[in-house]
Structure 1
């Protein structure tokens, strides 16, 4: 009985292989719909955790409400080493500043473990929009108030924030339409029911062969090798909208320090694997691992940066 109690109290990844086989799986809760690049990120990571430790991993998608459903489920989970939460720049940094009614506090409710990757974004319009540059799109949207719709994977996501910053900063009358995941928003863009989308590159690249969308600019400091003819937002003259996303793993607050340290080290090993890096880069993710201590410092700096941006621009989210 004493041995069983000890096993139940131990973090899952610290158990010996035989003991892990008797434990329930480690779950990774994601706030994004299945089938997208972020879902693939969670599954690639989970597969490597299983391969390296023998610990079974399940990915549990809880899309909707701008990530609130998943983050709330993660915050409420037992801190027993059996739950990880796939977070992002929206859920871990901006949401409390832009959406004060969210039902979780990322600084209070989660124990940061690792930043995994960074994803650049692309400013995209439907092919029916007569614009080949960001400036031309802004001019067209101003001349056609109420015509343009822009999509996102939910309130507070970077696509929503970039769209709102452009809408408010450039005086554009366009409507935000949130979806439960990026794949649904992309389908609406391809169908022409969205005219504008600041889309994560992982969802964009497969669409370029179809000819239904046009890329006006990309975020990040340099042009992307996959789109060498497309300027950066800085080159296009709009540095205020030059933002990229990050994706991370955290545990519920109060999880053991041993679990945080060991899981952080394990994730660092996984992100350093050449094969893993290649698979992630094929999804337009740039491996950008930060361990627990460095990730906590990064989050603190990002929260200060976004607090300044929001105060300076007066950014608010609508819809």
Structure 2
């Protein structure tokens, strides 16, 4: 509880002094030889005992009126959040190589690697990418995010939306090898640009995840697609996924086998795409690397949020004034009847 005029409460100090003076002030007296003639008067004892009751009522009423004049208030605070979101398109490679496993250096033997994969300690690239993308989306509740999957051809899985639950559902359905055998980078960039170019937000971003080289002859090249993005003021971050210790699991005559994966992403192309649009290029050799990369992009692309503070005050003076008036009325009635003094 707060007071609009707290300095008025200082008036209680002189009021307390007046009350003390009134109670200690010596009342006029008449010296008589005996009070026996007055002992039979009805209510004489009670009048003597409660003679100060009206004064107490008036004093309490005055104190309450002083508190009411200070305007006691109870505030209910409301924070109105205004967020200026960013439109982001996530471009995810789902070519067959995204099913590969990038083996951390701490695993040195085939048996250790097989045991780690079976235990879920090592996940394939597509699983890691989907997991980190989910975390990225969860950290950006005010941003509209969309998804383009690609391999040989692009697939616009989800337009930019604030319905992140819907986006999660589309992301979960994606799997490595579901859209062909090759890797075409130009078309998915163009698809993302097409989705972002008419968005009204001040900041528009695309994040490209890939582990392979562009090997699809499209109508435009990846660099031309990047220049198109720049035309619409769209920034592209590129992420090269994979390491030199990457393997794919294949079924052989003696069961599942780990086959080394020779193909790598085109680092120069990914750098050029990012540089063309004013973005940045990142590498993610394993799960930890991709996590750090997504955290870095999350820091680079911050949503601006304003939080104006509103306080709705409820005035508490009215019931105090009513209470004070009741006390004054009670004191007046008692003074005029029960405690009436005859000159």
Query: Could you tell me the TM-score, scaled by structure 1's length?
Result: 0.32
Scaled by the length of structure 2, the TM-score of the pair is 0.30
Look at both structures and tell me which one has the larger radius of gyration over its CA atoms. Answer: 2
Hey, which of these two has a bigger chunk of helix by percent? 1
